Amino acid sequence: MSFIRSTEAVVHEIHGARFTSYVSPATGSRDLAAWRTEVPAGTAGLAHVISHEEAFYVLSGRLRFTIDGEAAELGAGDAAVAPAGSALAVANPTDEPAHMWVTTRVGLSAELADGSTLTPPWAN
């Protein structure tokens, strides 16, 4: 069993958001990856197609999720699930930062609109 202290979490910044990795192979997980994401006010996330299912839980603020063309704005306490192979975009259309918790399987990758593939280090 592994215990991950907040001081040990690894922070990654990409596409204007901050990803704080807690659960990954680097911290002892074989199957799951989980992280906290801070999405600054006015951030429009890049659309991408995900390789593995992802579960999102909004911790604070409001976020707009678009999953396979269906959009919803969610607030603190709300959740969303994006199936493997779905097109996903997350945006913060408000003037306040928002935070979410994300969980997926280890090995997640994302194909961006330009055809490039992102393999996020916080999920591998």
Say yes or no to pLDDT of 1 above 60.
no
From residue 118, how far is each of 35, 47, 77, 98, 114 by CA, in Å? 16, 12, 28, 23, 11
Categorize the per-residue pLDDT at 15 as very low, low, confident or very high, splitting at 50, 70 and 90. Answer: confident
Is residue 20 domain-resident? yes
Burial class (CB in 10 A: 0-12, 13-18, 19+), 116: exposed
CATH of the domain at 54: 2.60.120.10
Residue 112 confidence (pLDDT)? 95
User: Look-up: residue for tokens 């969303």?
Assistant: 80
What mean pLDDT, rounded, does the chain reach?
Answer: 96
* Structural domain harbouring 83: 6-107
Please give the order of strands across the beta sheet that includes 32-39: 10-14, 17-23, 32-39, 98-105, 54-60, 79-82
Domain membership of residue 120 (yes or no) is no
Rounded mean pLDDT, 54-59: 98
Under DSSP, is residue 94 helix (H, G, I), strand (E, B) or coil?
coil
Is 42 within a domain? Answer: yes
- pLDDT tens digits, residue range 74-114? 999 999 999 999 999 999 999 999 999 999 999 999 999 99
Average pLDDT for 35-58: 97
Helices within the chain (DSSP H only): none
The predicted structure's pLDDT at residue 2? 82
Number of domains in the chain: 1
